């Protein structure tokens, strides 16, 4: 469960002006649900999400994940969090398998080679991209790359998955397939928090948070 208590985020510009990007937001996201942050560009969607995952801590207020305050317990809680930013962060000259393998070697230090191979196949199959396992990342589609980015995060089996505008570069058919995959993840117990500006994504969501200008 995610809980926010009067959360605010203030940025100070170079001239000293204070800009409030998130304004005293309080909300609860139950475990195993998909929550969407929806609103116009510049309304604070990504900023709010980044206060929840610890990338950019709040100025005021508190975030609780599973009843634990985020900042004071961050070293532990970050192991339970997966985060996929809007821009792909994977090396395009690696194959899909290589990308997941090197990440697994860093995160799954107690796994054998066979266990890593099995884990990679399991996650890629779950996300519908097992058939591109041996392809270069530079040669797969945008939708497939987004799934590979999620696969990297799923290696460590996070309890919460944060996604920043994952459907933006995708075509309508790919979006439908992608959102069905997220629904399947939530049904398996993963809480998904997603930023979007597309109202059509609402059909697949359990919780919707609308943000206006000023957060």
Q: Which alpha helices (H) appear in 5-94, and where do they start and end?
A: 45-52, 74-77
Which residue in 47, 115, 109, 40 sits closest to 79, CA to CA?
109
| pLDDT-flagged residues of the chain (< 50) | none
Give tens-digit pLDDT for 45-84. Answer: 899 999 999 899 899 999 999 999 999 999 999 889 999 9
What pLDDT is attached to residue 85? 87
The conformation of residue 56, written as its DSSP 8-state character, comes to S
| Measured distance CA(109)–CA(106) in Å, rounded | 6
By the 8 A CB rule, do 87 and 167 touch? no
CB atoms within 10 A of CB 69: 14
By the 8 A CB rule, do 26 and 64 touch? no
What pLDDT is attached to residue 34? 92
What pLDDT is attached to residue 177? 83
CA distances from residue 191 to 31, 40, 78, 195, 209 in whole angstroms, order as listed: 5, 24, 14, 14, 15
What pLDDT is attached to residue 87? 77
Please name the residues in contact with 93: beta carbons below 8 A apart, sequence gap of 6 or more: 136, 137, 138
Which residue in 37, 71, 66 sits closest to 56, CA to CA?
71
Beta bridge partners of 5: 62
| Measured distance CA(146)–CA(168) in Å, rounded | 10
Concatenate the DSSP letters of all residues of 178-204 into one string.
Answer: HHHHHHHHHHTT-EEEEEES-GGGGGG
By the 8 A CB rule, do 213 and 40 touch? yes
Which residue in 202, 140, 143 sits closest to 178, CA to CA?
143
CB atoms within 10 A of CB 144: 19
pTM, 2 dp: 0.88
Give tens-digit pLDDT for 149-161. Answer: 989 988 988 999 9
């Amino acid at each position: 469960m995610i809980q926010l208590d009067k959360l605010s985020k203030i940025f100070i510009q170079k001239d000293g002006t204070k800009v409030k990007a998130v304004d005293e937001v309080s909300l609860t996201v139950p475990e195993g649900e998909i929550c969407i942050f929806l609103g116009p560009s510049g309304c604070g969607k990504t900023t709010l999400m980044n206060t929840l995952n610890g990338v950019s801590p709040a100025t005021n207020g508190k975030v609780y994940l599973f009843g634990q305050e985020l900042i004071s317990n961050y070293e532990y809680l970050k192991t339970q969090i997966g985060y996929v930013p809007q821009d792909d962060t994977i090396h395009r000259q690696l194959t899909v398998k290589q990308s997941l393998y090197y990440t697994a070697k860093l995160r799954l230090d107690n796994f054998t080679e066979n266990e890593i191979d099995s884990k990679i196949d399991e996650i890629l199959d779950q996300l519908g991209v097992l058939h591109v396992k041996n392809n270069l990342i530079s040669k797969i589609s945008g939708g497939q790359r987004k799934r590979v980015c999620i696969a990297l995060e799923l290696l460590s089996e996070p309890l919460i998955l944060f996604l920043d505008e994952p459907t933006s570069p995708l075509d309508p058919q790919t979006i439908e397939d992608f959102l069905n995959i997220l629904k399947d993840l939530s049904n398996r117990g993963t809480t998904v928090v997603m930023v979007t500006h597309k109202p059509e994504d609402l059909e697949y969501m359990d919780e919707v948070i609308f943000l206006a200008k000023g957060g």
